[in-house]
Amino acid sequence: RLPGGLFAAVGASAGYVSLPALTRALGAASEAAAEPALPASMLVAFVLIVAVLAGALGRRVRAASDDLDRATRELDRVRVDNDVILRHLATGVLTVDAQGTVAYLNPAAEQVLGLRTAALRGRLVDEAFPERLRRLRETVRETLSRGTPLSRLELTARTAGDEELVLGVTTNVLRHEGAVTGVVAVFQDLTDVRDMERRARRNETLAEVGALAAGIAHELRNGLNPISGSVEYLQRELKPEGENAVLMGLIVRECTRLNRFVTDLLNYARERDLVVEPLDLGAQLEELCETLQRDPRCENGVRVVGADPAEAVRLRGDGEQLRQVWLNLVNNALDAMAGGGTLTVRWRTSPEGRAIVEFADEGAGMAPEHLPRVGEPFFTTKPGGTGLGVAIAQRIVERHGGTLAFESAPGRGTVARVCLPAENGILADAA
């Protein structure tokens, strides 16, 4: 600092002025060396000027050092804040540099894409991203090559588990002094949103179909009842024989089949209010398995096995309507095993807190192209089926806040999986 510099200069000047007297006193110098080479006043002035300049320079260096420390602390704070924000952002963020090298993925991006930053950083995006994310890497490359952003794109990709992944992507170009330094891509997983939109559209269509079906079913039933009643009366009165008896029996059977179809149609068209109550899912399914043991279809080499879980599975729901779901799924499974096999009924609670019920049969299975259509009204692969049983079951499950899905392959059987919100312990609480 300036005071310290002046103090040092004064001390040095005093020492210099007293140096000849000191050397004479010690007798260690000649007369020529005893006199200073420069006048003392000039040297003192020079030293003082140097001291002032050094003090001023030191003060400015100290001020610059303080400013640098403050800027460093502020930069560290901003860096930490940005890192915290990106880490807690629910939207995926991906950045690449001007060469297309992956620089950063936030945790949301890692989760959506099924990748890890540590394995990608420093690699070109074309090499780092697998084929299942081809459209995303092409979008990043296109933004980098054109130098223009892309907004609100919807891309289809695949997850690490080979499931469909719908991404909403927006890209922006990073620039410094006019030069492109990289690309940042911001994206979200829209899979659930698009799935809900499809279900909403399907439910809207099905509601219209249901309203139309209810009217048709009512008219059909009005005509079927007198036909079946008249045929039964003629059978009793005329007691037909031979071909006449066969034809009469055919009429009765077809009337019964059509009446069953009309009943299914009405059940699909009408939405009964849910009577929600605490349910012990295991007790309900165990009772179902015991009932199936006496089903005539189990006499032809068909076995029904209930897999008892380690813990009770409880939920809130309409017990009667859920029983209708189980019966519809079981009937499909038993019909698929006309040549024999085992139907396994499993139930458990998932780590996410959902009740899962599975009906796994050893039947003929379904072709891959049929799976997306399972649950559509009137679609069936079963001879003589109405195509309404699964549609009714799916509607009931969805009204309970659950999902119904199928896994199947030709010759490998079918697994029908129902997921419902579980409430463990509710029976104990209610008691």
Phi and psi, residue 406, nearest 5°: -130, 140
The position carrying tokens 């000039």 is 42
Nearest to 144 by CA among 87, 192, 187, 95: 95
CA 308 to chain centroid: 30
3-state helix, strand, coil in the chain (%, to 5): 55, 20, 25
What is the structure's pLDDT at 322?
A: 92
DSSP string, 145-163: HHT--EEEEEEEEE-TTS-
Residues in Cβ contact with 415 at an 8 Å cutoff, skipping those fewer than 6 apart: 358, 359, 360, 361, 406, 407, 408
CA 156 to chain centroid: 14
DSSP alpha helices (H): ranges in 277-414?
281-292, 319-336, 389-399
What is the structure's pLDDT at 313?
A: 82
Q: Which helix (DSSP H) or strand (DSSP E) does residue 231 occupy?
A: helix 191-238
Phi and psi, residue 243, nearest 5°: -65, -35
* DSSP character at residue 165: E
DSSP string, 285-313: HHHHHHHHTT-GGGGSSEEEEEE--SS--
* DSSP character at residue 133: G
Distance CA 350, CA 335 (A): 29
What is the structure's pLDDT at 30?
A: 46
What is the structure's pLDDT at 139?
A: 92
Distance CA 263, CA 257 (A): 10
**Cα–Cα–Cα angle for 176, 180, 181, rounded to 5 degrees:** 70
What is the structure's pLDDT at 267?
A: 67
Can you tell me whether residue 168 is helix, strand or coil?
Answer: strand
Residue-level pLDDT, tens digit, the chain, 431 residues: 556 555 555 665 565 556 566 555 555 444 444 455 556 566 556 666 666 666 677 777 777 777 777 777 666 555 545 566 667 778 888 999 988 899 888 888 888 888 888 888 888 988 889 899 999 989 999 999 988 899 888 988 888 877 888 999 999 998 888 888 999 999 988 888 888 887 777 767 666 766 776 677 767 777 777 888 888 888 888 888 888 888 888 888 888 878 777 777 676 666 677 888 888 888 888 888 888 877 777 777 788 888 766 677 888 888 888 998 998 898 888 888 877 888 899 888 887 788 899 999 988 888 887 887 787 776 777 766 667 778 888 888 988 888 898 888 888 889 999 999 876 433 333 33
Residues in Cβ contact with 385 at an 8 Å cutoff, skipping those fewer than 6 apart: 335
Can you tell me whether residue 90 is helix, strand or coil?
Answer: coil
